[in-house]
Chains A and B, each alone.
Chain A
Amino acid sequence: EAQVTQNPRYLITVTGKKLTVTCSQNMNHEYMSWYRQDPGLGLRQIYYSMNVEVTDKGDVPEGYKVSRKEKRNFPLILESPSPNQTSLYFCASSLSRRMFYEQYFGPGTRLTVT
């Protein structure tokens, strides 16, 4: 089954404790992206990757890191999480960066930083 998976689905952590949210897709997609969803703000892009070893900042990259060492994986790293990073996070992928390709979303990761 074609899908985007994220782990963990739920995470409660404390300020400053490094964490990684994994994202994997099995569709051989070139383009992958991370979003955060906050009430009243919709989804905002954090980082995106157009292919292996090619990443760039989205609208809200501060406090986050990403890497794309393999085509299928695009982990999101929070080196020192803070309470303002409490949010719902989505990973998405599409065949190409070209706009007409649909983005497929993962199931979301609910992160709480205390």
Chain B
Amino acid sequence: AQTVTQSQPEMSVQEAETVTLSCTYDTSESDYYLFWYKQPPSRQMILVIRQEAYKQQNATENRFSVNFQKAAKSFSLKISDSQLGDAAMYFCASRDDYKLSFGAGTTVTVRA
């Protein structure tokens, strides 16, 4: 069984600044994948970034990067140079062979 915990219900960031979203997970699997999804007001689920557990190198996608600490079971998301379009709810998720488990989400507000 997997559990994913996001301890920050809401985060606010000034436009062009950086914000970091926290995520911890618990899994008994040795092989798994971690994801961050973005859900804008349209409700569409959009994959932001993924990390393979066996890779030590942190994944990066343009302004989005992760800090993956496998021993600590931590998987934080950093959004650099925040833009108004980054305002959304962000979900951390962990996937083993059969299921994708989600955290409760963090709502990100971007101040102009």
User: Which chain A residues have a beta carbon within 8 Å of chain B's beta carbons?
Assistant: 33, 35, 40-45, 48, 50, 56, 58-59, 88, 90, 92, 97-100, 102-103, 105, 107-108
Contact = CB atoms under 8 A, between A and B. Distances in A.
B99 A102 contact: no
B84 interface: no
Q: Which of A40, A43, A50, A99 has the most CB of B within 10 A?
A: A99
Contact of B105 (A42, A92, A102): A42
The main secondary structure of chain B at its interface with chain A is loop
Contact of B31 (A42, A43, A99, A107): A99
A35 to B, nearest CB: 8
Given A102-B47, A105-B44, A42 B99 contact: no
Contacts of A59: 99, 101
A108 B43 contact: yes
B103 A33 contact: no
Nearest to A43: B102
**Interface residues of B toward A: which range?**
20 to 34
B102 A44 contact: yes
Interface in B86-112: 91, 93, 95-105
22 contacts: A33-B100, A42-B102, A42-B105, A43-B91, A43-B100, A44-B102, A45-B99, A48-B98, A48-B99, A50-B98, A56-B98, A59-B99, A59-B101, A92-B100, A99-B33, A99-B95, A99-B97, A102-B47, A102-B50, A105-B45, A107-B43, A108-B44
A56 B99 CA distance: 11
Contacts of A44: 102
Contact of B97 (A45, A58, A90, A97): A97
A105 to B, nearest CB: 4
B52 interface: yes
Given A88-B43, A108-B43, A99 B102 contact: no
